[in-house]
Structure 1
Protein backbone atom coordinates (compact mmCIF):
# COMPACT_ATOMS: atom_id res chain seq x y z
CA UNK A 1 0.00 0.00 0.00
CA UNK A 2 1.47 3.35 -1.02
CA UNK A 3 2.13 6.20 1.38
CA UNK A 4 -0.78 8.29 0.10
CA UNK A 5 -3.18 5.37 0.46
CA UNK A 6 -1.96 4.66 4.01
CA UNK A 7 -2.37 8.32 4.95
CA UNK A 8 -5.82 8.61 3.41
CA UNK A 9 -6.97 5.48 5.23
CA UNK A 10 -5.60 6.81 8.51
CA UNK A 11 -7.34 10.15 8.07
CA UNK A 12 -10.66 8.40 7.60
CA UNK A 13 -10.13 6.05 10.52
CA UNK A 14 -8.81 8.57 13.04
CA UNK A 15 -11.27 11.36 12.37
CA UNK A 16 -10.45 14.91 13.45
CA UNK A 17 -10.15 14.45 17.21
CA UNK A 18 -8.98 11.80 19.67
CA UNK A 19 -7.70 11.49 23.22
CA UNK A 20 -4.51 10.45 24.92
CA UNK A 21 -5.07 8.26 27.95
CA UNK A 22 -4.09 10.07 31.17
CA UNK A 23 -0.35 9.89 31.80
CA UNK A 24 1.37 9.22 35.11
CA UNK A 25 5.05 8.50 35.62
CA UNK A 26 4.54 7.29 39.20
CA UNK A 27 1.85 4.62 38.87
CA UNK A 28 0.07 2.53 36.27
CA UNK A 29 -3.70 1.97 36.33
CA UNK A 30 -4.83 -1.67 36.53
CA UNK A 31 -5.48 -3.20 33.13
CA UNK A 32 -9.18 -3.79 33.89
CA UNK A 33 -9.55 -0.07 34.57
CA UNK A 34 -7.84 0.70 31.26
CA UNK A 35 -10.15 -1.68 29.39
CA UNK A 36 -13.21 -0.10 30.96
CA UNK A 37 -11.90 3.38 30.17
CA UNK A 38 -11.40 2.81 26.44
CA UNK A 39 -14.80 1.15 26.17
CA UNK A 40 -16.34 4.22 27.80
CA UNK A 41 -14.46 6.54 25.46
CA UNK A 42 -15.51 4.51 22.44
CA UNK A 43 -19.15 4.64 23.54
CA UNK A 44 -18.78 8.40 24.04
CA UNK A 45 -18.03 8.70 20.33
CA UNK A 46 -14.26 9.06 20.20
CA UNK A 47 -12.77 7.25 17.23
CA UNK A 48 -9.15 7.23 18.41
CA UNK A 49 -7.11 6.92 21.59
CA UNK A 50 -3.38 7.27 22.10
CA UNK A 51 -0.92 6.15 24.75
CA UNK A 52 2.51 7.33 25.85
CA UNK A 53 5.71 5.43 26.55
CA UNK A 54 9.01 6.16 28.23
CA UNK A 55 11.55 3.39 28.94
CA UNK A 56 10.53 0.65 31.35
CA UNK A 57 7.43 0.16 33.47
CA UNK A 58 5.18 -0.66 30.54
CA UNK A 59 5.37 -1.57 26.88
CA UNK A 60 3.15 0.53 24.61
CA UNK A 61 2.68 -2.28 22.08
CA UNK A 62 1.55 -4.75 24.72
CA UNK A 63 -0.75 -2.13 26.23
CA UNK A 64 -2.37 -1.43 22.86
CA UNK A 65 -2.73 -5.13 22.08
CA UNK A 66 -4.86 -5.41 25.21
CA UNK A 67 -6.89 -2.27 24.47
CA UNK A 68 -7.44 -3.07 20.79
CA UNK A 69 -8.86 -6.44 21.80
CA UNK A 70 -11.13 -4.74 24.36
CA UNK A 71 -12.78 -2.43 21.81
CA UNK A 72 -14.64 -2.87 18.54
CA UNK A 73 -13.77 0.02 16.24
CA UNK A 74 -11.49 2.44 18.08
CA UNK A 75 -8.16 3.28 16.44
CA UNK A 76 -5.11 3.32 18.72
CA UNK A 77 -1.80 5.06 18.31
CA UNK A 78 1.45 5.52 20.18
CA UNK A 79 2.31 9.08 21.14
CA UNK A 80 4.98 8.04 21.26
CA UNK A 81 6.70 4.66 21.19
CA UNK A 82 10.13 5.48 22.59
CA UNK A 83 12.90 4.27 20.30
CA UNK A 84 15.16 3.46 23.27
CA UNK A 85 12.65 0.93 24.60
CA UNK A 86 13.32 -1.69 21.91
CA UNK A 87 15.38 -2.57 18.87
CA UNK A 88 14.01 -1.21 15.58
CA UNK A 89 13.42 -4.65 14.07
CA UNK A 90 11.40 -5.60 17.15
CA UNK A 91 9.40 -2.37 16.90
CA UNK A 92 8.59 -3.09 13.26
CA UNK A 93 7.54 -6.66 14.01
CA UNK A 94 5.32 -5.59 16.91
CA UNK A 95 3.69 -2.79 14.92
CA UNK A 96 3.10 -5.02 11.91
CA UNK A 97 1.54 -7.74 14.06
CA UNK A 98 -0.87 -5.27 15.66
CA UNK A 99 -1.77 -3.91 12.23
CA UNK A 100 -2.35 -7.42 10.91
CA UNK A 101 -4.51 -8.39 13.91
CA UNK A 102 -6.54 -5.16 13.80
CA UNK A 103 -6.52 -3.82 10.23
CA UNK A 104 -6.89 -0.07 9.94
CA UNK A 105 -6.86 0.45 13.70
CA UNK A 106 -3.22 1.14 14.53
CA UNK A 107 -0.92 4.14 14.03
CA UNK A 108 2.75 3.94 14.99
CA UNK A 109 4.15 7.16 16.41
CA UNK A 110 7.89 7.06 17.14
CA UNK A 111 9.98 9.50 19.14
CA UNK A 112 13.65 9.94 19.95
CA UNK A 113 12.93 10.97 23.52
CA UNK A 114 15.62 12.47 25.75
CA UNK A 115 19.27 11.78 26.62
CA UNK A 116 18.40 10.39 30.05
CA UNK A 117 16.12 7.82 28.42
CA UNK A 118 18.92 6.69 26.13
CA UNK A 119 21.22 6.47 29.16
CA UNK A 120 18.67 4.34 31.04
CA UNK A 121 18.86 1.86 28.16
CA UNK A 122 22.66 1.92 28.20
CA UNK A 123 22.88 3.83 24.92
CA UNK A 124 24.41 7.08 23.67
CA UNK A 125 21.82 9.66 22.63
CA UNK A 126 23.92 11.16 19.85
CA UNK A 127 22.36 13.34 17.15
CA UNK A 128 18.55 13.08 17.31
CA UNK A 129 18.22 13.36 13.54
CA UNK A 130 20.89 10.77 12.77
CA UNK A 131 19.53 8.49 15.48
CA UNK A 132 15.98 8.63 14.15
CA UNK A 133 17.09 8.17 10.55
CA UNK A 134 19.18 5.16 11.52
CA UNK A 135 16.35 3.66 13.55
CA UNK A 136 13.88 3.83 10.67
CA UNK A 137 16.48 2.46 8.25
CA UNK A 138 16.95 -0.55 10.51
CA UNK A 139 13.19 -1.00 10.90
CA UNK A 140 13.02 -1.59 7.16
CA UNK A 141 15.90 -4.06 7.14
CA UNK A 142 15.43 -7.82 6.72
CA UNK A 143 14.37 -9.90 9.73
CA UNK A 144 13.99 -13.59 10.35
CA UNK A 145 11.23 -14.52 10.38
CA UNK A 146 9.92 -11.69 8.20
CA UNK A 147 7.45 -9.30 9.84
CA UNK A 148 3.84 -9.52 8.62
CA UNK A 149 2.94 -7.52 5.53
CA UNK A 150 0.39 -5.25 7.19
CA UNK A 151 0.06 -1.61 6.17
CA UNK A 152 -0.02 1.03 8.90
CA UNK A 153 1.12 4.66 9.10
CA UNK A 154 4.46 5.45 10.69
CA UNK A 155 4.82 9.01 12.01
CA UNK A 156 7.60 10.79 13.90
CA UNK A 157 7.35 13.05 16.94
CA UNK A 158 8.64 16.37 15.60
CA UNK A 159 8.63 19.64 17.53
CA UNK A 160 11.25 21.41 15.46
CA UNK A 161 11.92 22.21 11.81
CA UNK A 162 14.71 19.67 11.26
CA UNK A 163 12.77 16.71 12.66
CA UNK A 164 9.72 17.84 10.68
CA UNK A 165 11.77 17.79 7.51
CA UNK A 166 13.02 14.30 8.35
CA UNK A 167 9.46 13.11 9.00
CA UNK A 168 8.41 14.42 5.61
CA UNK A 169 11.32 12.59 3.99
CA UNK A 170 11.28 9.14 5.61
CA UNK A 171 7.91 8.68 7.35
CA UNK A 172 4.19 8.95 6.66
CA UNK A 173 3.87 12.11 8.69
CA UNK A 174 4.61 13.86 11.96
CA UNK A 175 3.30 14.28 15.48
CA UNK A 176 4.15 17.66 17.04
CA UNK A 177 2.77 18.31 20.51
CA UNK A 178 2.11 21.12 22.96
CA UNK A 179 2.73 23.91 20.48
CA UNK A 180 0.42 26.67 19.20
CA UNK A 181 -1.57 26.57 15.94
CA UNK A 182 1.11 28.67 14.24
CA UNK A 183 3.43 25.68 14.48
CA UNK A 184 0.74 23.39 13.09
CA UNK A 185 0.53 25.65 10.05
CA UNK A 186 4.31 25.53 9.61
CA UNK A 187 4.25 21.75 10.01
CA UNK A 188 1.65 21.36 7.31
CA UNK A 189 3.63 23.59 4.98
CA UNK A 190 6.80 21.58 5.65
CA UNK A 191 5.12 18.20 5.20
CA UNK A 192 3.00 19.08 2.20
CA UNK A 193 -0.55 17.85 1.61
CA UNK A 194 0.13 14.12 1.36
CA UNK A 195 1.50 13.42 4.84
CA UNK A 196 -0.41 12.68 8.04
CA UNK A 197 -0.27 15.48 10.61
CA UNK A 198 -1.35 14.50 14.12
CA UNK A 199 -1.17 17.27 16.73
CA UNK A 200 -1.03 16.80 20.49
CA UNK A 201 -3.03 19.57 22.20
CA UNK A 202 -2.51 20.22 25.91
CA UNK A 203 -5.80 20.86 27.68
CA UNK A 204 -6.88 22.06 31.12
CA UNK A 205 -10.53 21.14 31.59
CA UNK A 206 -12.34 23.25 34.16
CA UNK A 207 -15.54 25.33 33.90
CA UNK A 208 -13.91 27.92 36.15
CA UNK A 209 -12.01 30.08 33.64
CA UNK A 210 -9.49 31.52 36.08
CA UNK A 211 -8.68 28.13 37.56
CA UNK A 212 -8.38 26.58 34.09
CA UNK A 213 -6.01 29.33 32.96
CA UNK A 214 -3.89 28.90 36.07
CA UNK A 215 -3.53 25.19 35.32
CA UNK A 216 -2.70 26.03 31.70
CA UNK A 217 0.03 28.44 32.85
CA UNK A 218 1.54 25.70 35.03
CA UNK A 219 1.65 23.41 32.00
CA UNK A 220 3.43 25.99 29.85
CA UNK A 221 5.83 26.89 32.67
CA UNK A 222 6.89 23.25 32.93
CA UNK A 223 7.39 23.03 29.17
CA UNK A 224 9.55 26.15 29.19
CA UNK A 225 12.05 24.44 31.46
CA UNK A 226 13.31 22.79 28.26
CA UNK A 227 15.47 25.28 26.30
CA UNK A 228 14.46 23.69 22.99
CA UNK A 229 10.81 24.41 23.72
CA UNK A 230 11.49 28.08 24.43
CA UNK A 231 13.54 28.27 21.23
CA UNK A 232 10.58 26.89 19.24
CA UNK A 233 8.31 29.58 20.63
CA UNK A 234 10.85 32.29 19.87
CA UNK A 235 10.98 31.10 16.26
CA UNK A 236 7.20 31.48 16.15
CA UNK A 237 7.47 35.14 17.12
CA UNK A 238 6.85 35.08 20.87
CA UNK A 239 8.98 37.69 22.60
CA UNK A 240 11.61 37.04 25.23
CA UNK A 241 9.38 38.83 27.73
CA UNK A 242 6.35 36.68 26.90
CA UNK A 243 8.42 33.55 27.29
CA UNK A 244 10.10 34.66 30.51
CA UNK A 245 6.83 35.78 32.10
CA UNK A 246 4.71 32.95 30.63
CA UNK A 247 2.47 35.63 29.18
CA UNK A 248 -1.24 35.32 28.71
CA UNK A 249 -1.10 35.32 24.90
CA UNK A 250 1.35 32.42 25.02
CA UNK A 251 -0.72 30.42 27.51
CA UNK A 252 -3.89 30.94 25.48
CA UNK A 253 -2.14 29.85 22.29
CA UNK A 254 -0.57 26.66 23.64
CA UNK A 255 -3.21 25.17 25.94
CA UNK A 256 -6.90 24.66 25.37
CA UNK A 257 -8.46 25.58 28.70
CA UNK A 258 -11.94 25.97 30.10
CA UNK A 259 -15.12 24.06 29.36
CA UNK A 260 -16.07 21.90 26.36
CA UNK A 261 -16.77 24.83 24.02
CA UNK A 262 -13.37 26.40 24.68
CA UNK A 263 -11.56 23.09 24.14
CA UNK A 264 -13.47 22.47 20.90
CA UNK A 265 -12.58 25.97 19.68
CA UNK A 266 -8.87 25.30 20.19
CA UNK A 267 -9.14 21.97 18.37
CA UNK A 268 -10.75 23.82 15.45
CA UNK A 269 -7.81 26.25 15.34
CA UNK A 270 -5.38 23.38 14.81
CA UNK A 271 -7.61 21.71 12.23
CA UNK A 272 -7.91 25.01 10.36
CA UNK A 273 -4.11 25.34 10.47
CA UNK A 274 -3.70 22.00 8.70
CA UNK A 275 -3.88 19.22 11.29
CA UNK A 276 -5.53 16.00 10.16
CA UNK A 277 -6.15 14.87 13.71
CA UNK A 278 -5.85 16.49 17.14
CA UNK A 279 -5.39 14.38 20.26
CA UNK A 280 -6.07 15.85 23.70
CA UNK A 281 -3.31 15.72 26.33
CA UNK A 282 -4.39 16.15 29.93
CA UNK A 283 -1.81 17.49 32.41
CA UNK A 284 0.82 14.89 33.28
CA UNK A 285 -0.02 13.28 36.59
CA UNK A 286 -3.80 13.52 36.15
CA UNK A 287 -5.53 10.80 38.13
CA UNK A 288 -6.57 8.15 35.61
CA UNK A 289 -10.27 7.74 36.41
CA UNK A 290 -10.83 11.47 36.90
CA UNK A 291 -9.06 12.18 33.63
CA UNK A 292 -11.23 9.70 31.75
CA UNK A 293 -14.28 11.34 33.33
CA UNK A 294 -13.14 14.71 31.96
CA UNK A 295 -12.55 13.31 28.47
CA UNK A 296 -15.96 11.67 28.50
CA UNK A 297 -17.58 14.96 29.50
CA UNK A 298 -15.87 16.73 26.60
CA UNK A 299 -17.05 14.21 24.03
CA UNK A 300 -20.39 15.81 22.99
CA UNK A 301 -18.63 19.03 21.98
CA UNK A 302 -15.79 17.24 20.18
CA UNK A 303 -17.19 14.25 18.36
CA UNK A 304 -19.48 16.56 16.39
CA UNK A 305 -16.34 17.88 14.70
CA UNK A 306 -16.16 14.62 12.78
Structure 2
Protein backbone atom coordinates (compact mmCIF):
# COMPACT_ATOMS: atom_id res chain seq x y z
CA UNK A 1 0.00 0.00 0.00
CA UNK A 2 1.46 3.43 -0.93
CA UNK A 3 2.55 5.52 2.05
CA UNK A 4 1.64 9.14 2.65
CA UNK A 5 5.18 10.03 1.54
CA UNK A 6 4.68 8.18 -1.76
CA UNK A 7 1.51 10.10 -2.46
CA UNK A 8 2.94 13.45 -1.48
CA UNK A 9 6.49 13.33 -2.81
CA UNK A 10 6.46 10.50 -5.33
CA UNK A 11 9.37 8.12 -5.67
CA UNK A 12 11.49 10.33 -7.95
CA UNK A 13 12.06 14.08 -8.04
CA UNK A 14 14.32 16.58 -9.75
CA UNK A 15 16.84 18.70 -7.81
CA UNK A 16 18.19 21.75 -9.61
CA UNK A 17 19.71 25.06 -8.59
CA UNK A 18 18.74 26.47 -12.00
CA UNK A 19 15.04 26.57 -11.12
CA UNK A 20 15.26 29.94 -9.36
CA UNK A 21 17.01 32.27 -11.79
CA UNK A 22 18.37 35.50 -10.36
CA UNK A 23 17.71 37.14 -13.73
CA UNK A 24 13.97 37.69 -14.32
CA UNK A 25 14.57 37.05 -18.03
CA UNK A 26 15.10 33.39 -17.18
CA UNK A 27 11.74 33.04 -15.50
CA UNK A 28 9.80 32.07 -18.62
CA UNK A 29 12.22 29.22 -19.37
CA UNK A 30 12.00 27.98 -15.78
CA UNK A 31 8.21 28.17 -15.82
CA UNK A 32 8.08 26.07 -18.99
CA UNK A 33 10.61 23.59 -17.56
CA UNK A 34 8.77 23.01 -14.29
CA UNK A 35 5.47 22.64 -16.12
CA UNK A 36 7.09 19.90 -18.20
CA UNK A 37 8.55 18.18 -15.11
CA UNK A 38 5.02 18.13 -13.73
CA UNK A 39 3.68 16.59 -16.95
CA UNK A 40 6.50 14.02 -17.12
CA UNK A 41 5.36 12.53 -13.82
CA UNK A 42 8.11 13.53 -11.42
CA UNK A 43 6.88 13.70 -7.84
CA UNK A 44 8.76 16.71 -6.47
CA UNK A 45 10.73 19.69 -7.69
CA UNK A 46 13.60 20.49 -5.32
CA UNK A 47 14.68 24.09 -5.82
CA UNK A 48 18.35 23.77 -4.92
CA UNK A 49 21.00 26.29 -4.00
CA UNK A 50 19.30 28.24 -1.18
CA UNK A 51 16.39 29.84 -3.03
CA UNK A 52 14.30 32.61 -1.52
CA UNK A 53 10.58 32.13 -1.07
CA UNK A 54 9.95 34.92 -3.57
CA UNK A 55 11.56 32.61 -6.15
CA UNK A 56 9.33 29.71 -5.13
CA UNK A 57 6.02 31.41 -5.88
CA UNK A 58 6.42 31.48 -9.71
CA UNK A 59 7.29 27.76 -9.75
CA UNK A 60 4.17 26.97 -7.77
CA UNK A 61 2.06 29.04 -10.15
CA UNK A 62 3.57 27.29 -13.20
CA UNK A 63 2.68 23.79 -11.94
CA UNK A 64 -0.53 21.97 -11.07
CA UNK A 65 0.21 18.65 -9.39
CA UNK A 66 3.87 18.30 -8.49
CA UNK A 67 5.17 19.03 -4.99
CA UNK A 68 7.54 22.01 -4.82
CA UNK A 69 10.21 22.10 -2.11
CA UNK A 70 13.17 24.27 -1.21
CA UNK A 71 16.36 22.26 -1.15
CA UNK A 72 17.31 24.13 0.96
CA UNK A 73 16.47 27.53 2.42
CA UNK A 74 19.25 28.68 4.74
CA UNK A 75 18.11 29.59 8.24
CA UNK A 76 20.83 32.25 8.45
CA UNK A 77 19.49 34.27 5.53
CA UNK A 78 15.79 34.58 6.41
CA UNK A 79 14.02 35.21 9.71
CA UNK A 80 11.59 32.56 10.87
CA UNK A 81 8.79 35.12 11.15
CA UNK A 82 9.19 36.26 7.54
CA UNK A 83 9.47 32.66 6.32
CA UNK A 84 6.32 31.62 8.16
CA UNK A 85 4.34 34.53 6.75
CA UNK A 86 5.55 33.96 3.18
CA UNK A 87 5.02 30.19 3.41
CA UNK A 88 1.39 30.72 4.43
CA UNK A 89 0.83 32.88 1.36
CA UNK A 90 2.53 30.38 -0.97
CA UNK A 91 0.44 27.52 0.39
CA UNK A 92 -2.74 29.34 -0.58
CA UNK A 93 -1.62 29.15 -4.22
CA UNK A 94 -0.06 25.72 -3.84
CA UNK A 95 -3.00 23.96 -2.24
CA UNK A 96 -0.64 22.21 0.18
CA UNK A 97 1.93 21.30 -2.52
CA UNK A 98 4.72 23.41 -1.05
CA UNK A 99 7.24 21.95 1.42
CA UNK A 100 9.71 24.16 3.25
CA UNK A 101 13.17 22.58 3.16
CA UNK A 102 15.46 24.11 5.78
CA UNK A 103 19.17 23.77 6.44
CA UNK A 104 22.04 25.22 8.44
CA UNK A 105 24.23 25.58 5.33
CA UNK A 106 27.98 26.00 5.98
CA UNK A 107 30.20 28.19 8.10
CA UNK A 108 32.17 29.51 5.14
CA UNK A 109 29.01 30.88 3.56
CA UNK A 110 27.46 32.54 6.61
CA UNK A 111 29.28 34.93 8.96
CA UNK A 112 26.72 34.31 11.72
CA UNK A 113 27.14 30.52 11.59
CA UNK A 114 27.38 29.14 15.14
CA UNK A 115 25.91 26.25 17.12
CA UNK A 116 24.07 24.90 14.05
CA UNK A 117 22.00 22.26 15.83
CA UNK A 118 20.82 24.66 18.54
CA UNK A 119 20.16 27.33 15.93
CA UNK A 120 17.93 24.94 14.00
CA UNK A 121 15.99 24.00 17.13
CA UNK A 122 15.44 27.69 17.90
CA UNK A 123 14.38 28.34 14.31
CA UNK A 124 11.81 25.53 14.43
CA UNK A 125 10.52 26.88 17.74
CA UNK A 126 10.06 30.27 16.09
CA UNK A 127 8.20 28.73 13.15
CA UNK A 128 5.90 26.98 15.61
CA UNK A 129 5.25 30.22 17.48
CA UNK A 130 4.64 32.41 14.41
CA UNK A 131 1.27 33.99 13.73
CA UNK A 132 1.01 31.67 10.73
CA UNK A 133 2.97 28.65 11.98
CA UNK A 134 4.63 26.25 9.56
CA UNK A 135 3.56 22.78 10.76
CA UNK A 136 6.09 20.02 11.17
CA UNK A 137 4.39 18.17 8.31
CA UNK A 138 5.13 21.12 6.02
CA UNK A 139 8.89 21.19 6.48
CA UNK A 140 11.92 18.94 5.97
CA UNK A 141 15.49 19.35 7.18
CA UNK A 142 18.79 18.99 5.39
CA UNK A 143 20.38 16.42 7.69
CA UNK A 144 23.56 14.36 7.61
CA UNK A 145 24.54 13.47 11.16
CA UNK A 146 22.53 11.51 13.74
CA UNK A 147 21.43 14.53 15.82
CA UNK A 148 19.99 16.45 12.89
CA UNK A 149 18.40 13.29 11.51
CA UNK A 150 16.64 12.67 14.82
CA UNK A 151 15.49 16.28 14.84
CA UNK A 152 14.13 15.77 11.31
CA UNK A 153 12.00 12.88 12.52
CA UNK A 154 10.75 14.67 15.62
CA UNK A 155 10.24 18.24 14.39
CA UNK A 156 9.67 17.88 10.64
CA UNK A 157 8.23 15.54 8.03
CA UNK A 158 11.68 14.05 7.59
CA UNK A 159 15.10 14.57 6.07
CA UNK A 160 16.56 15.66 2.74
CA UNK A 161 20.27 14.65 2.83
CA UNK A 162 22.55 15.95 0.09
CA UNK A 163 25.67 14.27 -1.33
CA UNK A 164 25.24 10.96 0.45
CA UNK A 165 25.78 7.29 -0.32
CA UNK A 166 23.31 4.42 -0.26
CA UNK A 167 25.07 3.25 2.91
CA UNK A 168 24.29 6.60 4.54
CA UNK A 169 20.69 6.20 3.41
CA UNK A 170 20.43 2.87 5.24
CA UNK A 171 21.93 4.41 8.38
CA UNK A 172 19.64 7.42 8.12
CA UNK A 173 16.58 5.20 7.82
CA UNK A 174 17.58 3.37 11.00
CA UNK A 175 17.95 6.72 12.79
CA UNK A 176 14.73 8.25 11.45
CA UNK A 177 12.54 5.24 12.08
CA UNK A 178 10.05 3.77 9.61
CA UNK A 179 7.66 6.66 9.05
CA UNK A 180 9.65 9.88 8.55
CA UNK A 181 10.40 11.00 5.00
CA UNK A 182 13.88 10.16 3.74
CA UNK A 183 14.60 11.94 0.45
CA UNK A 184 18.31 11.84 -0.45
CA UNK A 185 19.75 13.70 -3.42
CA UNK A 186 21.59 11.68 -6.08
CA UNK A 187 23.74 13.37 -8.71
CA UNK A 188 23.66 11.89 -12.21
CA UNK A 189 25.94 12.21 -15.24
CA UNK A 190 24.35 10.60 -18.30
CA UNK A 191 27.46 9.68 -20.27
CA UNK A 192 28.71 6.21 -21.19
CA UNK A 193 32.28 7.51 -21.47
CA UNK A 194 33.23 6.87 -17.83
CA UNK A 195 36.35 9.04 -17.89
CA UNK A 196 34.40 11.98 -19.25
CA UNK A 197 31.59 11.37 -16.75
CA UNK A 198 34.09 11.34 -13.89
CA UNK A 199 35.56 14.63 -15.10
CA UNK A 200 32.11 16.24 -15.00
CA UNK A 201 31.42 14.76 -11.56
CA UNK A 202 34.74 15.98 -10.16
CA UNK A 203 34.03 19.45 -11.49
CA UNK A 204 30.97 19.57 -9.27
CA UNK A 205 32.33 17.62 -6.30
CA UNK A 206 35.55 19.58 -5.82
CA UNK A 207 33.70 22.53 -4.27
CA UNK A 208 31.78 20.34 -1.80
CA UNK A 209 34.99 18.63 -0.69
CA UNK A 210 36.07 21.99 0.75
CA UNK A 211 33.12 21.93 3.19
CA UNK A 212 33.63 20.13 6.50
CA UNK A 213 29.95 19.19 6.90
CA UNK A 214 30.28 16.91 3.88
CA UNK A 215 33.79 15.63 4.41
CA UNK A 216 33.12 14.84 8.08
CA UNK A 217 30.09 12.82 7.02
CA UNK A 218 32.11 10.95 4.41
CA UNK A 219 34.83 10.20 6.95
CA UNK A 220 32.16 8.73 9.24
CA UNK A 221 31.16 6.48 6.34
CA UNK A 222 34.68 5.06 6.07
CA UNK A 223 36.29 7.22 3.39
CA UNK A 224 39.77 8.60 3.97
CA UNK A 225 41.33 12.02 3.45
CA UNK A 226 43.02 10.63 0.35
CA UNK A 227 39.61 10.10 -1.24
CA UNK A 228 39.11 13.87 -1.27
CA UNK A 229 42.19 14.72 -3.36
CA UNK A 230 41.94 15.94 -6.96
CA UNK A 231 38.15 16.22 -6.95
CA UNK A 232 37.53 12.79 -5.45
CA UNK A 233 38.79 9.25 -5.88
CA UNK A 234 37.13 6.82 -8.29
CA UNK A 235 35.84 4.96 -5.23
CA UNK A 236 34.21 8.10 -3.86
CA UNK A 237 32.65 9.00 -7.21
CA UNK A 238 31.19 5.51 -7.56
CA UNK A 239 29.54 5.82 -4.14
CA UNK A 240 28.14 9.33 -4.55
CA UNK A 241 27.11 9.52 -8.22
CA UNK A 242 25.23 7.64 -10.90
CA UNK A 243 27.56 7.70 -13.92
CA UNK A 244 26.59 6.08 -17.19
CA UNK A 245 23.51 5.26 -19.22
CA UNK A 246 19.86 5.49 -18.11
CA UNK A 247 19.90 1.85 -17.03
CA UNK A 248 22.80 2.58 -14.70
CA UNK A 249 20.91 5.51 -13.23
CA UNK A 250 17.85 3.38 -12.65
CA UNK A 251 19.93 0.73 -10.87
CA UNK A 252 21.47 3.37 -8.61
CA UNK A 253 18.08 4.88 -7.81
CA UNK A 254 16.81 1.41 -6.93
CA UNK A 255 19.83 0.98 -4.65
CA UNK A 256 18.86 4.07 -2.62
CA UNK A 257 15.23 3.03 -2.49
CA UNK A 258 16.21 -0.45 -1.31
CA UNK A 259 18.39 1.14 1.38
CA UNK A 260 15.36 2.89 2.84
CA UNK A 261 14.75 6.07 0.84
CA UNK A 262 11.13 7.01 0.23
CA UNK A 263 12.12 9.36 -2.56
CA UNK A 264 15.27 10.09 -4.58
CA UNK A 265 15.92 13.65 -5.75
CA UNK A 266 17.93 13.44 -8.97
CA UNK A 267 20.36 16.20 -9.90
CA UNK A 268 21.50 15.99 -13.53
CA UNK A 269 24.91 17.35 -14.49
CA UNK A 270 25.14 17.90 -18.22
CA UNK A 271 28.80 18.91 -18.45
CA UNK A 272 27.68 21.87 -20.55
CA UNK A 273 27.62 25.11 -18.56
CA UNK A 274 25.25 26.57 -21.13
CA UNK A 275 22.67 23.86 -20.44
CA UNK A 276 21.29 24.86 -17.06
CA UNK A 277 17.93 23.17 -17.73
CA UNK A 278 18.76 19.71 -19.18
CA UNK A 279 15.26 18.99 -20.44
CA UNK A 280 16.31 16.27 -22.86
CA UNK A 281 17.98 14.33 -20.05
CA UNK A 282 15.05 14.84 -17.69
CA UNK A 283 12.81 13.39 -20.41
CA UNK A 284 15.13 10.43 -20.94
CA UNK A 285 15.21 9.65 -17.24
CA UNK A 286 11.43 9.94 -16.88
CA UNK A 287 11.10 7.23 -19.52
CA UNK A 288 13.86 5.05 -18.07
CA UNK A 289 12.37 5.28 -14.60
CA UNK A 290 8.90 4.53 -15.98
CA UNK A 291 7.26 7.57 -14.46
CA UNK A 292 3.52 7.79 -15.14
CA UNK A 293 2.97 10.98 -17.17
CA UNK A 294 0.30 13.42 -16.07
CA UNK A 295 -2.24 14.67 -18.58
Aligned length: 289
- Residue 16 of structure 1 pairs with residue 2 of structure 2: no
Contact 2:166 2:239 in 1 (8 A): yes
Instruction: Give, in angstroms, the shift of residue 264 of structure 1.
Output: 1.4
Contact 2:136 2:157 in 1 (8 A): no
Please point out which of 235, 241, 260 is paired with 2:246. 260
Which one is further off, 199-208 or 125-134?
A: 199-208
Q: 2 CA distance for matches of 1:155 and 1:117?
A: 21
Q: Which stretches in structure 2 are left out of the alignment for 5+ residues? A: none
Quickly say closer, same or farther: Cα 1:286–1:185, change in 2 above 3 A.
Answer: farther
Contact 1:202 1:256 in 2 (8 A): yes
Q: 1 CA distance for matches of 2:268 and 2:101?
A: 18
Question: C-alpha offsets along residues 39-88 of structure 1, whole Å, 9 cap, x if unaligned?
Answer: 2222222222110243xxx62x2222212221221111110112123210
Which residue of 2 is the match for residue 220 of structure 1? 205
Please point out which of 19, 24, 30 is paired with 1:34. 30
Quickly say closer, same or farther: Cα 1:127–1:89, change in 2 above 3 A.
Answer: same
Q: 1 CA distance for matches of 2:96 and 2:3?
A: 11
Which residues in structure 2 correspond to 1:72-87 (within 5 Å)?
72-87=64-79
Q: Which stretches in structure 1 are left out of the alignment for 5+ residues? A: 1-6
Structure 2 length-normalised TM: 0.87
Question: C-alpha offsets along residues 158-186 of structure 1, whole Å, 9 cap, x if unaligned?
Answer: 12222212222322211111111111111
Which SS does the other structure have where 1:193 is aligned?
Answer: coil
Contact 2:47 2:71 in 1 (8 A): yes
Larger RCO of the pair (alpha carbons < 8 Å, separation 6+): 1
Q: What do you get for the CA RMSD once the two structures are aligned?
A: 2.8
Please point out which of 271, 285, 288 is paired with 1:298. 285
Contact 1:49 1:77 in 2 (8 A): yes
Contact 1:79 1:110 in 2 (8 A): yes
Q: 2 CA distance for matches of 1:27 and 1:228?
A: 26
